[in-house]
Amino acid sequence: SIPTVIATAEEVPTATAISIPTVIATAEEVPTATATLVPTNTPIPTNTLPPTPTATSVVNFAPSLTPIPTWTPAPTAVAMMVPGDVIAGELQPNVANIHYFEGERFETVFFLARGSDELDLALVAYELDALAAAQEAQQTLPETLASLSPNKLVEDTEVGQPEFMIYTPQSDSLITVGLGGINGTSGRYKLYMFDTVTTTVNTPLVQTDTVAAGQTNRYPLASRGARPVVVFVDPVGNVDVKLLVKDGNGNVIVSSDFGRAGSPEAAFVRPGTAVEYTVEVSSATAATYNIVLVAITDDVD
């Protein structure tokens, strides 16, 4: 469902739709353990009923093995992105908008994509300049993307729900990000790009912090109404940190601990109403980490 950043008007190509090969996640993409969802990993509520005042939707970040939908990518890039950008636009049925950003090796970025209620979003990332690759191969952009497996695919949630993607470039290169609707769905979207140093209106906290061995650091995080909140913790060096998000009653909403030293931890919550959370970061050993708290301030439409 992770598109909005987010866009200038895109051109719908005349090329016929293509089927992009099914993605097989590599070992590097799949963490040793998926984030634990507390209290249970229940399906995200649909939009048929309004959320109750205490309702909370929690997203599991395990990589999806869902095939990329049949998309005809727009022939030119919609926008070049940098961290802090929010691109707003519209997706046509079976047409993917293409965005670029300059990737720096091992510098992790993350994206939040939000769509209108009828839009089921998917996000993909290719570690190359797709347009340049198509020109070099004397192919159309759809032909080039059809011959490639994306480095990352996210399509984990239901219609009308946001998507969240973490991406760590493996080289200094131009990265192609594709955003489209599943099963021909269309609508308005916003795409947000974040890193661990850029402060925006949507990031109440961006800082580097340390935690002593066996200790816990706590941070307040208030949602802006029912809009999404995101927590991203990126360890510095080969250390392992654990992330908890608790509601105002002290109940654990998300527990994220992949158990792999140096791996980022993330939590994404879509509250049913305004909620004040407490974020907890702990480590068995002394650790330094970058933490980003996101509280979205705007609407899709």
One pLDDT digit (tens) per residue for the chain, 301 residues = 333 333 333 333 333 333 333 333 333 333 333 333 333 233 333 333 333 333 333 433 333 334 555 667 665 656 689 999 999 999 998 888 889 999 999 999 999 999 999 999 999 999 988 878 888 988 877 778 778 888 998 887 788 889 999 999 999 999 999 899 988 899 999 999 999 999 999 999 999 999 999 999 999 999 999 999 999 999 999 999 999 999 999 999 999 998 789 999 999 999 989 999 999 999 999 999 999 999 999 999 8
Same domain? 166 vs 261: no
The last residue of one of the domains, among 194, 221, 254, is: 194
> Is residue 10 assigned to a domain?
no
| Contact indicator for 165, 101 with CB cutoff of 8 Å | no
Same domain? 205 vs 57: yes
> Is residue 236 assigned to a domain?
yes
Helix (H, G, I), strand (E, B) or coil at 146: helix
The last residue of one of the domains, among 172, 194, 216, is: 194
- Between strands 265-271 and 205-211, the pairing is unpaired
Same domain? 50 vs 74: no
Same domain? 133 vs 177: yes
User: What stretch of H or E contains 221?
Assistant: strand 216-222
The domain total for the chain is 2
pLDDT of residue 75: 59
pLDDT of residue 231: 98
> Is residue 7 assigned to a domain?
no
Same domain? 51 vs 87: no
Same domain? 228 vs 271: yes
Same domain? 278 vs 166: no
Who's near 120: CB < 8 A, 6+ residues apart? 1, 158, 159, 160, 181, 182, 183, 185
> Is residue 206 assigned to a domain?
yes
This prediction has a pTM of: 0.76
Same domain? 113 vs 125: yes
Same domain? 161 vs 86: yes
| Contact indicator for 155, 122 with CB cutoff of 8 Å | yes
Cα 192 from Cα 46, distance rounded (Å): 23
> Is residue 9 assigned to a domain?
no
> Is residue 300 assigned to a domain?
yes
| CA atoms within 13 Å, Cβ hemisphere of 262 | 7
pLDDT of residue 169: 94
Cα 153 from Cα 25, distance rounded (Å): 8
pLDDT of residue 10: 36
The last residue of one of the domains, among 194, 221, 239, is: 194
Q: Phi then psi for 136, rounded to 5 degrees?
A: -65, -35
pLDDT of residue 145: 76
Same domain? 57 vs 68: no
| Structural domain that includes position 97 | 63-194
> Is residue 150 assigned to a domain?
yes
Same domain? 164 vs 72: yes
Tokens of 40: 């249970």
> Tokens 């839009």 label which residue?
119
> Is residue 18 assigned to a domain?
no
List the CATH number of the domain containing 106.
Answer: 2.60.120.380
Same domain? 58 vs 134: no
Please count the other Cβ atoms lying within 10 Å of the Cβ belonging to residue 187.
22
Residues in the chain: 301
pLDDT of residue 79: 67
